[in-house]
Amino acid sequence: MANVINNLFGGSKSSASPDPVKSADSDFADFAEGVDPSPAPIVEPVSQQHTLGGALPAQTARPYTKWYNIHERHTLDEFKGEAVILSSIAVLLLLYFIGASWNRNKAKKWIRAHAAPLASEFALVGFSGVPAAAASAKSDDELVQALADSVAQQGDSVLREESLFEYATYATGRANVAFLDVKLTLQKRFNPIMLLVEWVMGFFMETMGSPTDNMQAILYPFDGKEADTVPGLPGAAELRANNSKSAFDGFVWALVHKESMKQVREDRYDVSLTSTKDHPKLPNWLTVMSESAEITDMMLTPELIKAAEAAGDNFEYLIVSDQPMDKPKTLDETVPRKRAFLKYRLPSNDNYDALLPIFRYFLRVADVLVQSARFRPEVLRKVKAVREEAIKQIKKADEDEKAEERTLEREKAKKAKRDAELNALDAKAQKKYLEKEREKEMRKKQKKQTSRA
């Protein structure tokens, strides 16, 4: 009884009493001591740990890696392909700008060298109109000088850039000449790959020819049509009544360098109508292509011979023609259109002193034609005979084409009639109809065989 009371009221415990923890369930042994009231230590992340010296502690230092050092992860050897591509593009762009600038400078040098002849022969040169200085000139010398200065200074308005290798200019305002077209065709220096291809093809193919810098001018005479060409021209009625003032007989004549002779004959229909003959007054590298010896005697003046000799190998041809360059296919294309052509190669050193005489003569060739191109009836009959033969061939080809069209139309109508008749019959009647057709075809074949035998 005493022991019970002591246990209830906290009396002294017996030394023989068993341990309560050991007697408890073994699964809850970890929680027998209770929870430790002291807080757990806070571990600062590596990125927030600092020391007084600014260095990371040895135990928290980041391991060494190349990820943050681009110069250690990559080398220049990895970009060899990109370097080759960029270098090639840079070289091509450099050659492009150098070649384009080269062509522009060459064209400007040509117009400066030919400014005086153009200004002295034409009232308007280029595309900008008559300059103010020329309009206020009091004498012919002042007018020529003003026009020459304008042509030399205003290169952009006088010589138009059609492309990086084509340049053009225009002139008008002269007696006996309606207008003049000039075209410069230069090598494609801005595209070295294309230029190399053209050189290679020209080396292996004669028809292609090596690329060159050349000038081609086309002069259009009035040929008695001033009143129709220039609207509102004073004295138009008088000009219509007397068209012979600037008219001349039509023909084809050419002075050609022998190296260009074959190509000119192949490329131009009008020159193919002529015959080629050497002339004792010409050097051995020049030849004449003419329809008549009388025409040659008229055209081959001492001034022209001297100018052609001075031009030398750069000269290609001077052609006077009233026929089209391409072979006519219709009667409209056979109508005579009189023109004069001049072509020469531009010298590599841009020195045009030797070429200016032939250019000046070309600008005045219309005057020579108006004054002297009147031939005997025998010569004109010979010239017209060739043109009439060409007209006959065109008419014959046109008639043959029309006859063929009429034949096709008859066959179509016949076939349509046969199909209509066949569709109107029943199956049995169609079979008989087809059998009759086969019998007719067999009889026709037999007749052809017997006629051949």
Question: How high is the pLDDT of residue 152?
Answer: 56
Residue 144 has pLDDT above 70, yes or no: no
For residue 46, give Cα distances in angstroms to 52, 53, 132. 15, 16, 85
pLDDT in tens, 428-446: 888 888 888 888 888 888 8
- H helices present in 230-376, as ranges: 236-241, 258-267, 269-272, 293-299, 302-311, 356-363, 365-372
Q: Which residues of 313-322 are buried (b: 16+ CB within 10 A; e: fewer)?
A: ebbbbbbbbb
Q: Angle of helix 302-311 relative to helix 356-363, nearest 10 degrees?
A: 140
**135 Cβ neighbours under 8 A, 6+ residues apart:** none
Closest to 215 in 3D by CA, of 110, 118, 322: 110
List, in sequence order, every beta strand (DSSP E) within 4-115: none
pTM of structure: 0.71
pLDDT at 242 over 60: no
Report the amino acid identity of residue 330: T
Q: What is the pLDDT of residue 39?
A: 55
The token duo for 117 is 């002849």
Residue 320 C-beta-side C-alpha neighbours within 13 Å? 27
d(CA 315, CA 346): 9
Across residues 7-25, what is the average pLDDT? 47
Q: What is residue 276's predicted lDDT score, i.e. its pLDDT?
A: 92
**DSSP-based helix, strand, coil % in the chain, nearest 5:** 55, 15, 35
pLDDT band at 61 (very low <50, low <70, confident <90, very high): low
pLDDT of 4 strictly over 50: no
Percent of the chain surpassing pLDDT 90: 36
Judge residue 250's burial from the number of C-beta atoms within 10 Å of its C-beta, 0-12 exposed, 13-18 middle, 19 or more buried. Answer: buried
Locus of tokens 């003959």: 277
Given a cut of 60, whether residue 338 has pLDDT beyond it is yes
- Max mean pLDDT among 141-155, 235-249, 250-264 falls in 250-264
Q: How far apart are CA 157 and CA 149, in angstroms?
A: 13
- Alpha-helical (H) ranges within 330-426 are 356-363, 365-372, 377-423
Are 324 and 269 in contact by the 8 Å Cβ rule? The answer is yes
pLDDT tens, position by position, 373-423: 889 999 999 888 888 888 888 888 888 888 888 889 988 988 888 888 888
What integer is the mean pLDDT of 66-80?
A: 75
Rounded CA gap, 334 and 323, in Å?
7
- What does the pLDDT look like over 211-220, one tens digit per residue? 899 999 999 9
What is the predicted pLDDT for the residue at 147? Answer: 61
Give the length of the chain. Answer: 453
What pLDDT, on a 0 to 100 scale, did the predictor assign at position 47?
47
- pLDDT greater than 90 at residue 198: no
List Cβ neighbours of 21 (8 Å cut-off, separation of 6 or more): 29, 32
CA distance 230 to 222: 10
Give the CA count within 13 Å in the CB-facing half-sphere of 141: 0
Looking at per-residue pLDDT, the higher value among 266 and 149 belongs to 266
Report, as an integer, the average pLDDT of 194-204.
Answer: 84
For residue 142, name the pLDDT band (cuts at 50, 70, 90): low
Distance of alpha carbon 318 from alpha carbon 269, whole angstroms: 15
Give the range with max mean pLDDT: 17-31, 55-69, 315-329.
315-329
Strand ranges in 278-351 using DSSP code E only, listed in sequence order: 286-290, 315-321, 339-345
The mean pLDDT of 96-100, rounded to a whole number, is: 93
